[in-house]
Homo-oligomer: A and B are copies of this chain.
Amino acid sequence: MKKNKAFLIDPVELKQLQQHVYDANMLLYNYKLAIHTWGNVSAISKDRKYMVIKPSGVSYQAMQPTDMVAVDLDNNVIGGSLNPSSDTPTHTLLYKQDSRIQAIVHTHSPFAVAWAQAGSDIPALGTTHADNFYGAVPCARELSEQEINGDYEHNTGLVIIEHFQKNNIDFIATPATLVKERGPFCWSAKSATDAVNLALTLEEVAKMALYTKLINPLQKQANIFLQNKHYNRKHGKNAYYGQKK
């Protein structure tokens, strides 16, 4: 464990965060969104000074809550004895970019990966999509040779941020992206559990979009008023879906 003198970790919060991140990773596995050691879930601390993430290359069945790794936002391991996910710098960059993001998930779920491998946005073809993602789920551009052979995972985060900024996409209204020829990242302003639920939603939406294109290859995005209606009845100012909090 590297020393980090810049801040103190509350051991109670760390333990809770490890349990929360462990549970969310196991939910990912139980949803069958990840096999073997694939995929990873992280969540950030309240002071946003460190995150906790799945260890690299460890199988879901073998993991324990204490195996979850604490990493500061400069990618230094500050808690835990294992290596963190190799995608750590992508996670930390996104946390630094938007302070509303509380948790991040990366999966290799097959329908979402297929859209990423085709280099295509997932178009908003209906209300299941619009209930959860405002507009298309974007596909970020290919990294250049220099970006790949340089600080690859950090650059992956930069390319995601570039795409959201260039296209004026709000990270919370559209809490997911595809990385070209790779796969999906999702995030949540609520919790790691919610981020994993979104990853399952994204896979369902990606599946429905593929099936729709097989019925009508020229299918365009859904009626924009319908998209707005569904997004707003769940997430808007006057949302009326769900229970009062």
Binding site for B on A (CB under 8 A): 35-38, 55-58, 82-83, 86, 108, 110-111, 113-120, 125-128, 142-143, 145, 148-149, 152, 181-183, 197, 200-201, 204, 207-216, 219, 222-223, 225-226, 229, 233, 240-244
Q: Which of A113, A127, A142, A233 has the most CB of B within 10 A?
A: A113
Q: In the complex, A208 Cα to B178 Cα: how many Å?
A: 14
Collect the chain B residues with CB atoms within 8 Å of residue A120's CB: 215-216
Q: How many monomers of this chain does the complex have?
A: 4
* Distance in Å: Cβ of A211 to nearest Cβ of chain B: 3
**Do B148 and A35 have beta carbons less than 8 Å apart?**
no
**Do B35 and A183 have beta carbons less than 8 Å apart?**
no
Identify A212's interface contact among B35, B114, B201, CB under 8 A. Answer: B114
**Do A110 and B208 have beta carbons less than 8 Å apart?**
yes
Q: In the complex, A215 Cα to B213 Cα: how many Å?
A: 8
Q: Which residue of B lies closest to A244 (CB)?
A: B83
Identify A214's interface contact among B152, B201, B210, CB under 8 A. Answer: B210
* Distance in Å: Cβ of A105 to nearest Cβ of chain B: 15
Collect the chain B residues with CB atoms within 8 Å of residue A38's CB: 128
**Do B148 and A219 have beta carbons less than 8 Å apart?**
no
